[in-house]
Structure 1
Amino acid sequence: MPNTAREKKTKLILDVAIKLFTEKGYAATTMEDVAKTAGISKGLSYFYFKNKEDLYMAVTKKAFDELKSIFREIFKQKGRSGLEMLTDLASAYIVFAKSHHMYNDAILNFMGIMQLYTQEQGRDKIHPLILESEHFQKLLDIHHDCGKLGIQMVSHGIKDGSIRPELQPEITFYTVWSMIIGYERLTGPVAYEEKEIKIHLDNWKPGFIKLLQDMLKGTIQAQKPQVVQTSLF
Protein backbone atom coordinates (compact mmCIF):
# COMPACT_ATOMS: atom_id res chain seq x y z
CA MET A 1 0.00 0.00 0.00
CA PRO A 2 1.29 3.52 -0.82
CA ASN A 3 2.29 5.36 2.35
CA THR A 4 3.74 8.64 1.12
CA ALA A 5 2.07 11.55 -0.65
CA ARG A 6 4.14 10.86 -3.78
CA GLU A 7 3.23 7.15 -3.81
CA LYS A 8 -0.46 7.94 -3.33
CA LYS A 9 -0.43 10.46 -6.16
CA THR A 10 1.46 8.07 -8.43
CA LYS A 11 -1.09 5.34 -7.71
CA LEU A 12 -3.96 7.73 -8.38
CA ILE A 13 -2.56 8.72 -11.77
CA LEU A 14 -1.88 5.07 -12.69
CA ASP A 15 -5.37 3.98 -11.67
CA VAL A 16 -6.96 6.79 -13.68
CA ALA A 17 -4.76 6.04 -16.70
CA ILE A 18 -5.71 2.37 -16.58
CA LYS A 19 -9.40 3.33 -16.43
CA LEU A 20 -9.14 5.73 -19.36
CA PHE A 21 -6.92 3.45 -21.46
CA THR A 22 -9.50 0.71 -20.92
CA GLU A 23 -12.52 2.89 -21.74
CA LYS A 24 -11.13 5.13 -24.50
CA GLY A 25 -8.02 3.31 -25.69
CA TYR A 26 -4.43 4.50 -25.50
CA ALA A 27 -4.48 6.58 -28.67
CA ALA A 28 -7.60 8.55 -27.71
CA THR A 29 -6.44 9.30 -24.15
CA THR A 30 -4.36 12.41 -23.47
CA MET A 31 -2.35 13.46 -20.44
CA GLU A 32 -4.87 16.26 -20.02
CA ASP A 33 -7.66 13.66 -19.79
CA VAL A 34 -5.72 11.80 -17.12
CA ALA A 35 -4.98 14.93 -15.12
CA LYS A 36 -8.58 16.19 -15.30
CA THR A 37 -10.04 12.84 -14.24
CA ALA A 38 -7.49 12.55 -11.42
CA GLY A 39 -8.36 16.04 -10.23
CA ILE A 40 -4.87 17.43 -10.62
CA SER A 41 -3.25 19.96 -12.91
CA LYS A 42 -1.76 18.85 -16.22
CA GLY A 43 1.58 20.27 -15.12
CA LEU A 44 1.55 18.17 -11.97
CA SER A 45 0.86 15.01 -13.96
CA TYR A 46 4.09 15.64 -15.88
CA PHE A 47 5.94 15.83 -12.58
CA TYR A 48 5.11 12.16 -11.97
CA PHE A 49 5.27 10.92 -15.58
CA LYS A 50 7.32 12.65 -18.26
CA ASN A 51 4.80 11.99 -21.05
CA LYS A 52 2.05 9.59 -22.13
CA GLU A 53 4.58 7.06 -23.37
CA ASP A 54 6.26 7.01 -19.98
CA LEU A 55 2.86 6.61 -18.29
CA TYR A 56 1.96 3.72 -20.60
CA MET A 57 5.22 1.98 -19.81
CA ALA A 58 4.41 2.36 -16.09
CA VAL A 59 1.00 0.82 -16.73
CA THR A 60 2.69 -1.98 -18.68
CA LYS A 61 5.00 -2.70 -15.77
CA LYS A 62 1.97 -2.89 -13.48
CA ALA A 63 0.39 -5.33 -15.94
CA PHE A 64 3.48 -7.56 -15.81
CA ASP A 65 3.45 -7.38 -12.01
CA GLU A 66 -0.19 -8.52 -11.96
CA LEU A 67 0.55 -11.39 -14.34
CA LYS A 68 3.61 -12.38 -12.32
CA SER A 69 1.46 -12.61 -9.19
CA ILE A 70 -0.73 -15.16 -10.99
CA PHE A 71 2.31 -17.22 -11.96
CA ARG A 72 3.65 -17.01 -8.41
CA GLU A 73 0.36 -18.05 -6.80
CA ILE A 74 0.11 -21.10 -9.04
CA PHE A 75 3.75 -22.09 -8.53
CA LYS A 76 3.62 -21.92 -4.74
CA GLN A 77 0.55 -24.18 -4.45
CA LYS A 78 1.44 -27.29 -2.48
CA GLY A 79 0.74 -30.78 -3.75
CA ARG A 80 0.34 -29.79 -7.41
CA SER A 81 2.25 -31.56 -10.15
CA GLY A 82 4.08 -29.57 -12.80
CA LEU A 83 1.49 -30.60 -15.38
CA GLU A 84 -1.33 -29.43 -13.11
CA MET A 85 0.45 -26.11 -12.59
CA LEU A 86 0.71 -25.50 -16.34
CA THR A 87 -2.92 -26.51 -16.80
CA ASP A 88 -3.93 -24.06 -14.07
CA LEU A 89 -1.76 -21.40 -15.71
CA ALA A 90 -3.47 -21.81 -19.07
CA SER A 91 -6.90 -21.38 -17.52
CA ALA A 92 -5.76 -18.48 -15.29
CA TYR A 93 -4.22 -16.58 -18.20
CA ILE A 94 -7.37 -16.92 -20.26
CA VAL A 95 -9.35 -15.42 -17.37
CA PHE A 96 -6.72 -12.70 -16.88
CA ALA A 97 -6.82 -11.70 -20.55
CA LYS A 98 -10.60 -11.50 -20.53
CA SER A 99 -11.00 -9.64 -17.23
CA HIS A 100 -7.95 -7.38 -17.66
CA HIS A 101 -8.09 -6.74 -21.38
CA MET A 102 -6.05 -3.54 -21.26
CA TYR A 103 -3.32 -5.17 -19.17
CA ASN A 104 -3.11 -8.04 -21.61
CA ASP A 105 -2.92 -5.69 -24.59
CA ALA A 106 -0.15 -3.73 -22.86
CA ILE A 107 1.84 -6.92 -22.28
CA LEU A 108 1.44 -8.05 -25.88
CA ASN A 109 2.34 -4.56 -27.10
CA PHE A 110 5.54 -4.71 -25.06
CA MET A 111 6.37 -8.09 -26.61
CA GLY A 112 6.05 -6.40 -30.00
CA ILE A 113 8.35 -3.60 -28.86
CA MET A 114 10.90 -6.17 -27.70
CA GLN A 115 10.81 -7.83 -31.09
CA LEU A 116 11.98 -4.53 -32.57
CA TYR A 117 14.36 -3.79 -29.68
CA THR A 118 16.33 -6.98 -30.26
CA GLN A 119 16.74 -6.37 -33.99
CA GLU A 120 19.76 -4.52 -35.28
CA GLN A 121 17.71 -1.88 -37.11
CA GLY A 122 14.54 -2.28 -35.08
CA ARG A 123 15.15 0.26 -32.34
CA ASP A 124 14.85 3.11 -34.83
CA LYS A 125 11.18 2.12 -35.26
CA ILE A 126 10.39 2.45 -31.53
CA HIS A 127 9.10 5.79 -30.30
CA PRO A 128 12.12 7.51 -28.71
CA LEU A 129 10.07 8.57 -25.67
CA ILE A 130 9.46 4.90 -24.92
CA LEU A 131 13.17 4.17 -25.01
CA GLU A 132 13.78 7.11 -22.67
CA SER A 133 11.19 5.97 -20.13
CA GLU A 134 12.60 4.75 -16.82
CA HIS A 135 9.70 2.31 -16.68
CA PHE A 136 10.77 0.81 -20.00
CA GLN A 137 14.20 0.24 -18.52
CA LYS A 138 12.58 -1.50 -15.55
CA LEU A 139 10.56 -3.67 -17.92
CA LEU A 140 13.76 -4.81 -19.61
CA ASP A 141 14.85 -6.19 -16.23
CA ILE A 142 11.61 -7.91 -15.18
CA HIS A 143 9.77 -9.04 -18.32
CA HIS A 144 11.28 -12.54 -18.12
CA ASP A 145 10.16 -13.07 -14.50
CA CYS A 146 6.99 -14.88 -15.60
CA GLY A 147 9.03 -17.07 -17.91
CA LYS A 148 11.41 -18.02 -15.11
CA LEU A 149 8.48 -19.22 -12.99
CA GLY A 150 7.01 -21.09 -15.94
CA ILE A 151 10.32 -22.86 -16.58
CA GLN A 152 10.37 -23.92 -12.93
CA MET A 153 6.88 -25.39 -13.38
CA VAL A 154 8.11 -27.48 -16.30
CA SER A 155 11.19 -28.59 -14.36
CA HIS A 156 8.97 -29.54 -11.43
CA GLY A 157 6.80 -31.60 -13.77
CA ILE A 158 9.80 -33.43 -15.21
CA LYS A 159 10.99 -34.26 -11.71
CA ASP A 160 7.59 -35.46 -10.47
CA GLY A 161 6.98 -37.53 -13.61
CA SER A 162 3.93 -35.65 -14.88
CA ILE A 163 5.82 -34.20 -17.87
CA ARG A 164 7.88 -36.06 -20.44
CA PRO A 165 11.45 -36.45 -19.14
CA GLU A 166 13.21 -35.74 -22.42
CA LEU A 167 11.84 -32.21 -22.76
CA GLN A 168 14.03 -29.15 -22.29
CA PRO A 169 12.33 -26.84 -19.73
CA GLU A 170 13.10 -23.48 -21.38
CA ILE A 171 12.04 -24.53 -24.88
CA THR A 172 9.02 -26.35 -23.49
CA PHE A 173 7.69 -23.45 -21.42
CA TYR A 174 8.07 -20.82 -24.12
CA THR A 175 6.38 -23.14 -26.63
CA VAL A 176 3.51 -23.68 -24.19
CA TRP A 177 3.38 -19.95 -23.45
CA SER A 178 3.14 -19.12 -27.16
CA MET A 179 0.29 -21.63 -27.51
CA ILE A 180 -1.63 -20.09 -24.62
CA ILE A 181 -1.21 -16.57 -25.99
CA GLY A 182 -2.17 -17.78 -29.47
CA TYR A 183 -5.30 -19.45 -28.10
CA GLU A 184 -6.40 -16.22 -26.41
CA ARG A 185 -5.76 -14.17 -29.55
CA LEU A 186 -7.78 -16.55 -31.71
CA THR A 187 -10.88 -16.73 -29.52
CA GLY A 188 -12.29 -13.71 -31.36
CA PRO A 189 -11.83 -15.06 -34.90
CA VAL A 190 -13.07 -18.50 -33.87
CA ALA A 191 -16.18 -17.03 -32.25
CA TYR A 192 -16.89 -14.98 -35.38
CA GLU A 193 -16.26 -17.81 -37.85
CA GLU A 194 -17.98 -20.56 -35.89
CA LYS A 195 -20.69 -20.88 -38.54
CA GLU A 196 -18.09 -21.52 -41.21
CA ILE A 197 -15.83 -23.97 -39.39
CA LYS A 198 -16.63 -26.92 -37.15
CA ILE A 199 -15.37 -25.49 -33.89
CA HIS A 200 -17.02 -23.64 -31.03
CA LEU A 201 -15.46 -21.89 -28.06
CA ASP A 202 -17.34 -24.20 -25.69
CA ASN A 203 -15.55 -27.28 -27.02
CA TRP A 204 -12.33 -25.63 -28.16
CA LYS A 205 -11.11 -24.70 -24.66
CA PRO A 206 -11.33 -28.24 -23.18
CA GLY A 207 -9.90 -29.59 -26.42
CA PHE A 208 -7.02 -27.12 -26.25
CA ILE A 209 -6.28 -28.00 -22.61
CA LYS A 210 -6.37 -31.74 -23.34
CA LEU A 211 -4.05 -31.39 -26.34
CA LEU A 212 -1.67 -29.32 -24.23
CA GLN A 213 -1.66 -31.97 -21.51
CA ASP A 214 -1.19 -34.83 -23.98
CA MET A 215 1.71 -33.00 -25.61
CA LEU A 216 3.43 -32.53 -22.26
CA LYS A 217 2.71 -36.03 -20.94
CA GLY A 218 3.56 -37.85 -24.14
CA THR A 219 2.61 -41.45 -24.83
CA ILE A 220 5.43 -43.08 -22.89
CA GLN A 221 5.62 -43.69 -19.18
CA ALA A 222 7.75 -41.12 -17.38
CA GLN A 223 11.20 -42.31 -16.39
CA LYS A 224 14.41 -40.84 -15.06
CA PRO A 225 15.45 -37.91 -17.30
CA GLN A 226 18.17 -38.66 -19.84
CA VAL A 227 20.71 -36.28 -21.33
CA VAL A 228 18.92 -36.50 -24.70
CA GLN A 229 17.00 -33.37 -25.69
CA THR A 230 14.26 -33.29 -28.30
CA SER A 231 11.50 -31.06 -29.60
CA LEU A 232 7.89 -31.10 -28.47
CA PHE A 233 6.72 -32.66 -31.72
Structure 2
Amino acid sequence: MGSQERSQKEKLILDVAIKLFTEKGYHATIMDEVAKNAKISKGLTYFYYKNKEDLYMAVTKKAFDELKDIFRDAIKVKGRSGLEMLTEVAYNYIDFSVKNKMYYEAILNFLGILQLYNDTKLREKIDPKILNSVHFQKLLEIHHDSAKIGIQMVSNGVKDGSIRPELQPEVTFYTVWTMLIGFERLLGPVSLEGKEIKIHIDNFRPGFIKLMQDMLKGSIQAQRPQAVQASLF
Protein backbone atom coordinates (compact mmCIF):
# COMPACT_ATOMS: atom_id res chain seq x y z
CA MET A 1 0.00 0.00 0.00
CA GLY A 2 1.44 3.37 -1.05
CA SER A 3 1.85 6.31 1.32
CA GLN A 4 -0.84 8.30 -0.48
CA GLU A 5 -3.41 5.52 -0.16
CA ARG A 6 -2.47 5.03 3.48
CA SER A 7 -2.95 8.74 4.13
CA GLN A 8 -6.36 8.67 2.43
CA LYS A 9 -7.49 5.71 4.54
CA GLU A 10 -6.34 7.39 7.75
CA LYS A 11 -8.17 10.57 6.83
CA LEU A 12 -11.35 8.67 5.94
CA ILE A 13 -11.39 6.88 9.29
CA LEU A 14 -10.64 10.12 11.12
CA ASP A 15 -13.43 11.99 9.34
CA VAL A 16 -15.94 9.25 10.13
CA ALA A 17 -14.82 9.20 13.77
CA ILE A 18 -15.23 12.97 14.04
CA LYS A 19 -18.77 12.69 12.64
CA LEU A 20 -19.71 9.91 15.09
CA PHE A 21 -18.06 11.55 18.09
CA THR A 22 -19.96 14.74 17.27
CA GLU A 23 -23.33 13.02 16.80
CA LYS A 24 -23.16 10.34 19.50
CA GLY A 25 -20.40 11.39 21.85
CA TYR A 26 -17.15 9.63 22.67
CA HIS A 27 -18.48 6.98 25.02
CA ALA A 28 -21.37 5.90 22.77
CA THR A 29 -19.13 5.47 19.72
CA ILE A 30 -17.47 2.10 19.13
CA MET A 31 -14.67 1.17 16.73
CA ASP A 32 -16.85 -1.38 14.88
CA GLU A 33 -19.25 1.42 14.03
CA VAL A 34 -16.40 3.59 12.77
CA ALA A 35 -15.22 0.77 10.51
CA LYS A 36 -18.75 0.12 9.21
CA ASN A 37 -19.39 3.79 8.37
CA ALA A 38 -15.98 4.14 6.75
CA LYS A 39 -16.67 0.94 4.76
CA ILE A 40 -13.33 -0.44 5.85
CA SER A 41 -12.71 -3.78 7.54
CA LYS A 42 -12.31 -3.81 11.32
CA GLY A 43 -8.84 -5.26 10.95
CA LEU A 44 -7.71 -2.42 8.70
CA THR A 45 -9.28 0.16 10.99
CA TYR A 46 -7.31 -1.22 13.92
CA PHE A 47 -4.20 -1.23 11.72
CA TYR A 48 -4.39 2.55 11.41
CA TYR A 49 -5.67 3.29 14.92
CA LYS A 50 -4.87 0.79 17.65
CA ASN A 51 -8.02 1.48 19.68
CA LYS A 52 -10.69 4.11 20.31
CA GLU A 53 -8.37 5.99 22.70
CA ASP A 54 -5.72 6.24 19.99
CA LEU A 55 -8.34 7.45 17.51
CA TYR A 56 -9.61 10.08 19.94
CA MET A 57 -6.08 11.37 20.46
CA ALA A 58 -5.80 11.72 16.67
CA VAL A 59 -9.05 13.70 16.67
CA THR A 60 -7.69 15.83 19.54
CA LYS A 61 -4.55 16.60 17.55
CA LYS A 62 -6.73 17.77 14.65
CA ALA A 63 -8.64 19.96 17.11
CA PHE A 64 -5.40 21.59 18.26
CA ASP A 65 -4.37 22.12 14.62
CA GLU A 66 -7.69 23.91 13.99
CA LEU A 67 -7.15 26.04 17.09
CA LYS A 68 -3.65 26.95 15.95
CA ASP A 69 -5.07 28.21 12.64
CA ILE A 70 -7.12 30.78 14.57
CA PHE A 71 -3.97 32.20 16.12
CA ARG A 72 -1.94 32.03 12.91
CA ASP A 73 -4.63 33.82 10.90
CA ALA A 74 -4.70 36.66 13.45
CA ILE A 75 -0.96 37.23 13.74
CA LYS A 76 -0.08 37.05 10.04
CA VAL A 77 -2.08 40.19 9.13
CA LYS A 78 0.33 43.13 9.00
CA GLY A 79 -0.40 46.53 10.49
CA ARG A 80 -2.33 45.30 13.52
CA SER A 81 -1.43 46.02 17.10
CA GLY A 82 -0.90 43.20 19.56
CA LEU A 83 -4.16 44.07 21.30
CA GLU A 84 -6.07 43.96 18.01
CA MET A 85 -4.63 40.52 17.31
CA LEU A 86 -5.66 39.22 20.73
CA THR A 87 -9.11 40.72 20.34
CA GLU A 88 -9.62 38.87 17.04
CA VAL A 89 -8.37 35.65 18.64
CA ALA A 90 -10.81 36.11 21.52
CA TYR A 91 -13.80 36.53 19.19
CA ASN A 92 -12.78 33.59 16.98
CA TYR A 93 -11.89 31.39 19.96
CA ILE A 94 -15.38 31.88 21.37
CA ASP A 95 -16.94 31.07 17.99
CA PHE A 96 -14.73 27.97 17.73
CA SER A 97 -15.77 26.75 21.18
CA VAL A 98 -19.46 27.17 20.34
CA LYS A 99 -19.51 25.89 16.75
CA ASN A 100 -17.02 23.04 17.23
CA LYS A 101 -18.15 21.60 20.55
CA MET A 102 -16.61 18.19 20.01
CA TYR A 103 -13.21 19.63 19.08
CA TYR A 104 -13.32 22.03 22.00
CA GLU A 105 -14.24 19.34 24.51
CA ALA A 106 -11.37 17.22 23.15
CA ILE A 107 -8.97 20.11 23.78
CA LEU A 108 -10.21 20.63 27.33
CA ASN A 109 -10.05 16.88 27.95
CA PHE A 110 -6.41 16.84 26.88
CA LEU A 111 -5.59 19.80 29.12
CA GLY A 112 -7.08 17.80 31.98
CA ILE A 113 -4.94 14.80 31.06
CA LEU A 114 -1.86 17.03 31.14
CA GLN A 115 -2.58 17.89 34.76
CA LEU A 116 -2.23 14.22 35.59
CA TYR A 117 0.68 13.64 33.22
CA ASN A 118 2.80 16.40 34.76
CA ASP A 119 2.61 14.75 38.18
CA THR A 120 4.46 11.41 38.21
CA LYS A 121 2.32 10.21 41.10
CA LEU A 122 -0.91 10.94 39.24
CA ARG A 123 0.24 9.80 35.81
CA GLU A 124 -0.70 6.20 36.59
CA LYS A 125 -4.36 7.31 36.60
CA ILE A 126 -4.20 7.94 32.85
CA ASP A 127 -5.45 5.10 30.68
CA PRO A 128 -2.35 3.23 29.35
CA LYS A 129 -3.99 3.14 25.91
CA ILE A 130 -3.75 6.93 25.85
CA LEU A 131 -0.14 6.99 27.02
CA ASN A 132 0.80 4.46 24.34
CA SER A 133 -0.92 6.39 21.56
CA VAL A 134 1.49 7.85 19.01
CA HIS A 135 -0.95 10.74 18.63
CA PHE A 136 -0.75 11.47 22.35
CA GLN A 137 3.01 11.76 22.00
CA LYS A 138 2.54 14.16 19.10
CA LEU A 139 0.14 16.21 21.22
CA LEU A 140 2.78 16.58 23.91
CA GLU A 141 4.98 18.22 21.28
CA ILE A 142 2.45 20.54 19.61
CA HIS A 143 -0.24 21.42 22.17
CA HIS A 144 1.58 24.64 23.20
CA ASP A 145 1.96 25.98 19.64
CA SER A 146 -1.11 28.22 19.90
CA ALA A 147 0.07 29.56 23.25
CA LYS A 148 3.45 30.47 21.74
CA ILE A 149 1.69 32.59 19.12
CA GLY A 150 -0.55 34.16 21.77
CA ILE A 151 2.47 35.05 23.90
CA GLN A 152 4.06 36.67 20.84
CA MET A 153 0.91 38.77 20.38
CA VAL A 154 1.20 40.05 23.94
CA SER A 155 4.89 40.83 23.37
CA ASN A 156 3.97 42.71 20.20
CA GLY A 157 1.33 44.66 22.11
CA VAL A 158 3.81 45.65 24.82
CA LYS A 159 6.25 46.85 22.13
CA ASP A 160 3.68 48.80 20.11
CA GLY A 161 2.10 50.34 23.21
CA SER A 162 -1.35 48.80 22.86
CA ILE A 163 -0.79 46.64 25.97
CA ARG A 164 0.49 47.79 29.36
CA PRO A 165 4.33 47.66 29.46
CA GLU A 166 4.54 46.05 32.90
CA LEU A 167 2.64 42.91 31.86
CA GLN A 168 4.62 39.69 31.54
CA PRO A 169 3.67 38.06 28.19
CA GLU A 170 3.49 34.42 29.32
CA VAL A 171 1.42 35.08 32.45
CA THR A 172 -0.77 37.55 30.57
CA PHE A 173 -1.61 35.21 27.72
CA TYR A 174 -2.44 32.27 29.95
CA THR A 175 -4.61 34.56 32.07
CA VAL A 176 -6.51 35.60 28.93
CA TRP A 177 -6.87 31.95 27.93
CA THR A 178 -8.20 31.14 31.39
CA MET A 179 -10.76 33.92 30.98
CA LEU A 180 -11.84 32.57 27.59
CA ILE A 181 -12.33 29.06 28.98
CA GLY A 182 -14.35 30.52 31.84
CA PHE A 183 -16.48 32.55 29.43
CA GLU A 184 -17.35 29.44 27.42
CA ARG A 185 -18.15 27.41 30.53
CA LEU A 186 -20.55 30.10 31.76
CA LEU A 187 -22.50 30.50 28.52
CA GLY A 188 -25.03 27.96 29.76
CA PRO A 189 -25.75 29.60 33.12
CA VAL A 190 -25.94 33.06 31.52
CA SER A 191 -28.38 31.74 28.91
CA LEU A 192 -30.66 30.66 31.75
CA GLU A 193 -31.02 34.22 32.94
CA GLY A 194 -32.94 34.52 36.18
CA LYS A 195 -34.72 37.46 37.68
CA GLU A 196 -31.93 37.99 40.19
CA ILE A 197 -29.11 38.05 37.60
CA LYS A 198 -29.40 41.05 35.30
CA ILE A 199 -27.36 39.79 32.35
CA HIS A 200 -28.28 38.67 28.86
CA ILE A 201 -26.36 36.43 26.49
CA ASP A 202 -26.39 39.14 23.81
CA ASN A 203 -24.39 41.62 25.90
CA PHE A 204 -22.24 39.05 27.71
CA ARG A 205 -19.73 38.64 24.86
CA PRO A 206 -19.14 42.34 24.02
CA GLY A 207 -18.95 43.15 27.72
CA PHE A 208 -16.42 40.37 28.24
CA ILE A 209 -14.26 41.49 25.29
CA LYS A 210 -14.31 45.13 26.41
CA LEU A 211 -13.29 44.17 29.94
CA MET A 212 -10.42 42.07 28.57
CA GLN A 213 -9.26 44.98 26.40
CA ASP A 214 -9.45 47.45 29.29
CA MET A 215 -7.44 45.12 31.51
CA LEU A 216 -4.71 44.76 28.89
CA LYS A 217 -4.63 48.48 28.09
CA GLY A 218 -4.64 49.46 31.75
CA SER A 219 -7.67 51.69 31.34
CA ILE A 220 -9.51 50.25 34.33
CA GLN A 221 -9.18 52.71 37.20
CA ALA A 222 -10.80 52.73 40.57
CA GLN A 223 -13.05 55.74 40.93
CA ARG A 224 -14.92 57.02 43.92
CA PRO A 225 -18.64 57.48 43.26
CA GLN A 226 -19.48 61.14 43.04
CA ALA A 227 -21.83 62.46 45.66
CA VAL A 228 -25.09 63.67 44.19
CA GLN A 229 -26.76 66.58 45.89
CA ALA A 230 -30.46 66.88 45.40
CA SER A 231 -33.26 68.81 46.96
CA LEU A 232 -36.21 67.06 48.47
CA PHE A 233 -38.49 69.90 47.33
Q: Same fold (TM over 0.5)?
A: yes
Q: In the alignment, which residue of structure 2 is the partner of 1:85? A: 85
- Shift of the 44–195 alpha-carbon distance from structure 1 to 2, 3 Å rule, reads farther
Identity %: 72
Taking the aligned partners of 2:213 and 2:81, their CA distance within structure 1 comes to 12
- Deviation readout 1:93-127 (Å, 9 max, x if unpaired): 01111111100000000000001111232111111
- Shift of the 219–99 alpha-carbon distance from structure 1 to 2, 3 Å rule, reads closer
Q: In the alignment, which residue of structure 2 is the partner of 1:133? A: 133
Q: Which runs of 5+ in 2 are unaligned?
A: 221-233
- Shift of the 194–157 alpha-carbon distance from structure 1 to 2, 3 Å rule, reads farther
Amino acid in the other structure paired with 1:101: K
Q: In the alignment, which residue of structure 2 is the partner of 1:158? A: 158
Please identify, of 196-205 and 98-107, the stretch whose mean Cα deviation from structure 2 is larger.
196-205
Taking the aligned partners of 2:120 and 2:199, their CA distance within structure 1 comes to 41
Q: In the alignment, which residue of structure 1 is the partner of 2:149? A: 149
**Any idea what SS the aligned residue of 2:185 has?**
helix
Cα offset, 1:219, TM superposition:
3.2
Aligned pairs for 1:18-37 (under 5 A) are 18-37=18-37
Q: In the alignment, which residue of structure 2 is the partner of 1:69? A: 69
Contact 1:194-1:200 within 8 A present in 2 as well: no
Q: In the alignment, which residue of structure 2 is the partner of 1:57? A: 57
Contact 1:54-1:130 within 8 A present in 2 as well: yes
Cα offset, 1:194, TM superposition:
4.0
Cα offset, 1:193, TM superposition:
3.7
Amino acid in the other structure paired with 2:140: L
Taking the aligned partners of 2:16 and 2:198, their CA distance within structure 1 comes to 42
Q: Which runs of 5+ in 1 are unaligned?
A: 221-233
Cα offset, 1:141, TM superposition:
0.4
**Any idea what SS the aligned residue of 1:188 has?**
helix
Cα RMSD (Å): 1.2
Taking the aligned partners of 2:193 and 2:48, their CA distance within structure 1 comes to 45
Q: In the alignment, which residue of structure 2 is the partner of 1:44? A: 44
Q: In the alignment, which residue of structure 2 is the partner of 1:227? A: none
Question: TM-score, normalised on structure 1?
Answer: 0.91
Q: In the alignment, which residue of structure 2 is the partner of 1:184? A: 184
Taking the aligned partners of 1:219 and 1:7, their CA distance within structure 2 comes to 51
Cα offset, 1:45, TM superposition:
0.3
Contact 2:21-2:102 within 8 A present in 1 as well: yes
Contact 2:193-2:200 within 8 A present in 1 as well: no
Q: In the alignment, which residue of structure 1 is the partner of 2:216? A: 216
Taking the aligned partners of 2:83 and 2:153, their CA distance within structure 1 comes to 8
Q: Say whether 1:108 aligns with 2:112.
A: no
Amino acid in the other structure paired with 2:21: F
Amino acid in the other structure paired with 2:48: Y
Q: Say whether 1:5 aligns with 2:8.
A: no
Taking the aligned partners of 1:185 and 1:41, their CA distance within structure 2 comes to 39
